[in-house]
Structure 1
Amino acid sequence: MHTLRRAAVVGLGTQALEDHLPGVAASRLAELVAVCDTDPGRVAPVESAHQVPGYTDLERLLADVRPDFVIIAVPHHAGRRITETCAKAGVHVMKEKPFATDPAEAADLAVLCRTTGIELMVTVQRRFHPVYRAARQMLEHVGDPYLLEGRYTFRCPDPSAGWRGQAGLAGGGCLIDMGYHLVDLVIWYLGLPDRILAHTSATASPGASYDAEDTALVHLSYDSGLHGSLLVSRSIGPKAEQLRVTGPQGTVVVERGRASRLDPGGRPVESLTREPAWPRAATAQIDHFCRVLDGRCPNPSGPDAHLPHAAFLGAAYASATTGRPMDPKEFL
């Protein structure tokens, strides 16, 4: 009989409540053994609902419970410290995106994981969703891409609310947060661009006090002749997410719940629809990470795999500041 991996969840905000805790509950390979948050008011109801010990001190949790791995779902600025605490205790980590708040932090965390020998997997749910995997296969049939169009938008009533409104805490705004998913798809499907020109804005809510961008427009260029743009905003409704990649033999369109391949005239060739549009990818990630820890499969989303993401974001924010195109490879 397979021994269940012991998991603890650190950070009991919306992401943990809606994704990670249900994901562990549905896992065939892991069991929840503890939860932690600095706010006692968040700990108590989760502790009671899941019948596991709750903590407000991570070091005490690690010493008392000795989990096999910790799922980190905390504000961006706190991620490094929590990861370092887990690594010091020899505890593996599943970490909510982003991997790091800037390229220097990403490099430091990658070294930390190598020197301590812990596994770290960044949670990028789309890599575990059948629609996004199907889209990657469809790209093989459109020829060498020359056009990329991406959009991820939704309406946040108050972009100044909480730590996400402060660039110093979040590492940026919508681009490093929700935009991380588009960045991950671009790198997974097409690789790191050769040039990035970005523009950002934090003006959607006049009178509100925040400096983390609510809207970002990023232009991408590859030496292969592929060009494109990504629009990310938390100020535009309704919620929409789409990525289109066009080559000489057609276009691949991927959105939540559906991947399609079109011929050069825009007529459908094939498609895959998944209902519900967003199954429990969190459980698939957790089960995969357990297999990584068991040595049964490689880690597809480890620290080194996310250094390009940090470089992409570093180049984009540098471009937005200077007004000049940037080569993301210089940020690796």
Structure 2
Amino acid sequence: MKRRAAIIGLGHQAAEDHLPGLLGSSRAELVAVCDTNPDILHERADALGVPGFIRAGDLLAETAPDFVIVSVPHHAGRAVIEECAAAGVHVLKEKPFATSVEEACHLAGVCRKGQVELMVTLQRRFNPIYASVAGMLDQIGAPFLIGGHYSFHTPNPGAGWRGDLVQAGGGCILDMGYHLIDLLLWYFGLPNRVIAEFSATALPEGGYDAEDTAVIQLGYDSGLYGSLVLSRWMAPKTEFMRVVGTTGSVVLTKGAVQRLALDGTVVEELTRPHAPSLATAQIDYFCRVLAGERPNVSGPEQHLAHAAFIASCYEPKTAGRYIDPKEML
């Protein structure tokens, strides 16, 4: 029997990923949608042939889904998760998990109290290219340098709620940077020191205050150090991570991962030109979590580390020093 699923929030992410992913799932079926914009709501609900709701509480009460996919503006996530937990409904949450350490700790407690599973959407974790990196890192000796880069150009970085710190909670670090930060924590754990520089000045007179560009410096007591560059102003669209070790290096891009010898020769390479839907794979995995067949690898407790790392990026602007993310917890 398929799990009954609903989507709360029908913006770009839902249209591009969550709706197609759910419609392609063999383990879940769409039973309802919700959005505060009545025009978008009625258009989507009619096209999909499911009931539509303006209020999340009404959806939960009237359709009793097994789980919901929450894809709402960052400032609205807390209230929706609280409603779902109170109703005993599991949550697949579009990243970020939370906008602050305080909120992350609160929501982790809410989920525990409500005895609901919450999994944060991180589709790269369901791609074999990214999963294979750990094995390659074991083959490059002692890693000592890391460089990550994720950028694209959007004409107006301050458009909509994402440009407003009050609603977004942060700019490119919290939002698009969450993917690169997750890879860093997945492969290496929390750094011991972090400091960041960032700005919201790429578009003069843009009228937004959420950062459009950032450079994060980080280091581990193991001797590994490096930086992450994030920008929603810098073209062309680029995503990569490079780790340099004493006997070689690993280069990860969105479509491939390579292990290189010291002279740059490719020793091994993995590509995935015909990948199935990662959104569907993620939804099916979450259904397996709910069935007790898989561990929740992206739950609230794991994402406390993400919240601590991000908070430590924002803190040095006033502290003027490296921050140990563990201090934020």
1:193 corresponding residue in structure 2: 191
How many angstroms apart in 1 are the aligned matches of 2:211 and 2:279?
Answer: 28
How many angstroms apart in 2 are the aligned matches of 1:292 and 1:262?
Answer: 36
SS at 2:196 equivalent: strand
Alignment equivalent of 1:31, drawn from 6, 29, 33: 29
Query: 1:130-209 to 2 correspondence within 5 Å?
Result: 130-209=128-207
How many angstroms apart in 1 are the aligned matches of 2:65 and 2:119?
Answer: 16
How far apart are 1:167 and its partner, in Å? Answer: 1.2
Instruction: Give yes or no for the alignment of 1:322 onto 2:316.
Output: no
Letter in 2 for 1:300: V
SS at 2:288 equivalent: helix
For structure 1, the residue ranges without an aligned partner over 5 or more in a row are none
Instruction: Give yes or no for the alignment of 1:21 onto 2:19.
Output: yes
1:41 corresponding residue in structure 2: 39
How many angstroms apart in 2 are the aligned matches of 1:56 and 1:279?
Answer: 32
SS at 2:173 equivalent: coil
How many angstroms apart in 1 are the aligned matches of 2:85 and 2:141?
Answer: 43
Alignment equivalent of 1:306, drawn from 303, 308, 311: 303
Alignment equivalent of 1:92, drawn from 90, 93, 116: 90
How far apart are 1:279 and its partner, in Å? Answer: 4.2
Q: When the two structures are aligned, how many residues end up with a matched partner?
A: 329
SS at 1:236 equivalent: coil
Alignment equivalent of 2:210, drawn from 209, 212, 215: 212
How many angstroms apart in 2 are the aligned matches of 1:308 and 1:69?
Answer: 25
SS at 1:20 equivalent: helix
**1:135-184 CA distance string (max 9 Å, x none):** 22211111221000000000010011111001111111001000000000
2:286 corresponding residue in structure 1: 289
TM-score if structure 1 supplies the norm length? 0.98
How many angstroms apart in 2 are the aligned matches of 1:84 and 1:304?
Answer: 16
How many angstroms apart in 2 are the aligned matches of 1:195 and 1:29?
Answer: 42
How many angstroms apart in 2 are the aligned matches of 1:48 and 1:137?
Answer: 47
- Cα RMSD over matched residues? 0.9
How many angstroms apart in 2 are the aligned matches of 1:45 and 1:238?
Answer: 34
SS at 1:77 equivalent: helix
**1:197-218 CA distance string (max 9 Å, x none):** 1001111000110110000100
1:7 corresponding residue in structure 2: 5
How far apart are 1:321 and its partner, in Å? Answer: 3.2
How many angstroms apart in 2 are the aligned matches of 1:47 and 1:241?
Answer: 35
How many angstroms apart in 2 are the aligned matches of 1:162 and 1:108?
Answer: 27
Instruction: Give yes or no for the alignment of 1:65 onto 2:63.
Output: yes
How far apart are 1:323 and its partner, in Å? Answer: 2.5
How many angstroms apart in 2 are the aligned matches of 1:128 and 1:251?
Answer: 23
SS at 1:235 equivalent: coil
How far apart are 1:134 and its partner, in Å? Answer: 1.5
Query: Please, which moves more after superposition, 241-250 or 185-194?
Result: 241-250
How many angstroms apart in 2 are the aligned matches of 1:218 and 1:181?
Answer: 14
In structure 2, relative to structure 1, the CA distance for the partners of 1:222 and 1:279 (3 Å cut) is same
**1:220-260 CA distance string (max 9 Å, x none):** 01000000000000010110000011111211111111111
How many angstroms apart in 2 are the aligned matches of 1:53 and 1:72?
Answer: 17
How many angstroms apart in 2 are the aligned matches of 1:320 and 1:70?
Answer: 37
SS at 2:104 equivalent: helix
SS at 1:64 equivalent: helix
Letter in 2 for 1:314: A
Identical amino acids, percent of aligned pairs: 57
How many angstroms apart in 2 are the aligned matches of 1:228 and 1:320?
Answer: 19
Query: Please, which moves more after superposition, 205-214 or 41-50?
Result: 41-50
